[in-house]
Chains A and B, each alone.
Chain A
């Protein structure tokens, strides 16, 4: 599967990454970034059972995705560097500015992503840039939740 992921994401050909879960279609990257592994988070959709938090804008815009993470306690971060006691989420957009992906920073400083309906991986943040996810548009942060 690693070779297939390198085919999808050329940035993974030149950086270290590793798979941390089997493929699971129950959740997508937005859900994973929000610590939910049971739902497919998206603002609108034909497919049944798309989850989107009540009160969040039902539109596929960066502002709507930011609003969702603000509801989870995140605020805009100046950068993606690791900060003690802080959890960060990066939002990706395509060339039209439409959200495509989200990744979450781990305490190690690595970033973690759920790739569509495939696996979770840990990776360099910028390795995911390019087609099909586009670029990191915004990084958000919040205090690391206590267990």
Chain B
């Protein structure tokens, strides 16, 4: 009796952009109505976004171009603190977008 071994289908490769949007959607679904910012930042999807490191920064900046978002809180985690950018979310978003333009990332 012969057996046929079929090769398992290859897992589709997720691009960085796809992974970012998947994680962002998970994060948003779980935290959008929460008031506790610690739960926003400590959510596994947010932790996974920050763990993507500097390559994800242009994707975050692109999201911020659409409007202020708590995603801006991920940027200091990834590239380091910029105390001069501190303010509310809108202020931080504008400051980080300006930073991104100067770096050629936005």
Of the candidates B33, B37, B69, the one whose C-beta lies within 8 Å of that of A47 is B37
A9 to B90, CA, bound (A): 27
- Is B44 in contact with chain A by the CB < 8 A criterion? no
Whose C-beta in chain B lies nearest to the C-beta of A128? B33
Q: A8-B33, A40-B88, A49-B92 in contact; A117/B70 too (CB < 8 A)?
A: yes
Chain A interface, >50% SS class = loop
Q: Are B33 and A25 in contact (CB under 8 A)?
A: no
Q: Give chain B residues whose Cβ lies under 8 Å from the Cβ of A100.
A: 34-36
Q: A42-B36, A100-B36, A118-B32 in contact; A26/B41 too (CB < 8 A)?
A: no
Q: How many residue pairs between the two chains, A and B, have CB atoms under 8 Å in the bound complex? A: 74
A27 to B90, CA, bound (A): 10
Count chain B residues whose beta carbon lies closer than 8 angstroms to a beta carbon of A: 23
- Is A48 in contact with chain B by the CB < 8 A criterion? yes
Q: Give chain B residues whose Cβ lies under 8 Å from the Cβ of A42.
A: 35-38
Q: Are A25 and B86 in contact (CB under 8 A)?
A: no
CB 8 Å contact bits of A29-55 with B (1 = contact, 0 = none): 110000000111010111111100000
Q: Residues on A close to B: CB < 8 A?
A: 5, 8-9, 24-30, 38-40, 42, 44-50, 60, 100-102, 115-118, 132
8 A-B residue pairs with CB within 8 Å: A8-B33, A26-B88, A44-B38, A45-B37, A46-B41, A48-B76, A49-B89, A60-B36
